[in-house]
Amino acid sequence: MDKAYKKLIDGNRLFALSKKFDDPEYFKKLSLGQKPDYLWIGCSDSRVPANEVTNTESGEIFVHRNIANVVVHTDFNLMSVLEYAVNVLEVKQIIVCGHYGCGGVRAAMGSGTFGLVDNWLRNIKDVYFKHNAELEAISDLDKRADRLTELNVIEQVRNLAKTMIIQNVWQAGRKIEIHGWVYGLNNGLITELNVLYDEKDDIEAIYRYKIDK
């Protein structure tokens, strides 16, 4: 058997043992159900694991990850996660967390092709185009990518607010906040972007649905 594979199983045994050692009821309690307060939408990058970078435990965060943390309204995977998190789990906070040094964002800035993912990253090219003047004024490509990373997170926060799922919650008078963060690979720190959507007026009129209640 390939050792690299075995490493994961060995790691799992160690994980299970140490958790049980700290709290003999740990798995029994978790198996009863989940009631996470947060939905995390992050990048698939192996260096940004939601629980680890927030020092949280299993059961605390409902997680969806894709390349470059993009929210696309025709993505049934993400929309299913969002609806379930919001309406069944009743999470109170949604976090879109990008990260500096994101390969997806960097790829979207260039003209290289990488396969199917080009279609996915097209969404980020649209973000770039929307903020073309600001981004083109940044000559340092790393800094430009950092700014695009931030703008991409803000755009995805907006995309969440545009969904019927979120607007229904606000219409019903339930509180739900959507935050935008960027994680720094080089220092392990999360920066909170100045973006918070928590009511229907936060989104432009053209995106607002008339919901009869």
Binding residues for Co ion, rule: CB under 5 A, are 43, 45, 102, 104
Smallest separation, CB 38 to Co ion (Å): 19
Q: Which of 71/165 has CB closer to Co ion? A: 71
Among residues 45, 97, 146, 147, which one is catalytic?
45
Residues 6+ apart with CB under 8 A from 207: 161, 162
Examine the residue annotation and report whether 65 is marked as an active-site residue of this protein.
no
Contact indicator for 166, 160 with CB cutoff of 8 Å: yes
Examine the residue annotation and report whether 99 is marked as an active-site residue of this protein.
yes
Smallest separation, CB 10 to Co ion (Å): 28
Among residues 37, 47, 122, 201, which one is catalytic?
47
Among residues 97, 102, 144, 146, which one is catalytic?
102
- 210 burial via Cβ count (<10 Å: 0-12, 13-18, 19+): exposed
Q: Which of 97/166 has CB closer to Co ion? A: 97
Smallest separation, CB 103 to Co ion (Å): 6
In angstroms, what CA-CA distances link 124 with 118, 179, 213?
Answer: 10, 19, 35
Residues 6+ apart with CB under 8 A from 75: 66
Among residues 64, 97, 99, 144, which one is catalytic?
99
Q: Which of 148/178 has CB closer to Co ion? A: 148
DSSP 55: T
Examine the residue annotation and report whether 45 is marked as an active-site residue of this protein.
yes
Q: Which has the closest alpha carbon to 57: 95, 10, 7, 19?
A: 19
Q: Which has the closest alpha carbon to 204: 156, 151, 158?
A: 158
Examine the residue annotation and report whether 2 is marked as an active-site residue of this protein.
no
Examine the residue annotation and report whether 174 is marked as an active-site residue of this protein.
no
Q: Which of 59/101 has CB closer to Co ion? A: 101
Q: Which of 43/82 has CB closer to Co ion? A: 43
Smallest separation, CB 39 to Co ion (Å): 18
Question: Strand locations in 21-158, DSSP E?
Answer: 38-43, 61-66, 93-99
Smallest separation, CB 47 to Co ion (Å): 8
Could you give the count of Cα atoms lying within 13 Å of 66 in the half-sphere of its Cβ? 18
Active site (catalytic) residues: 43, 45, 47, 99, 102
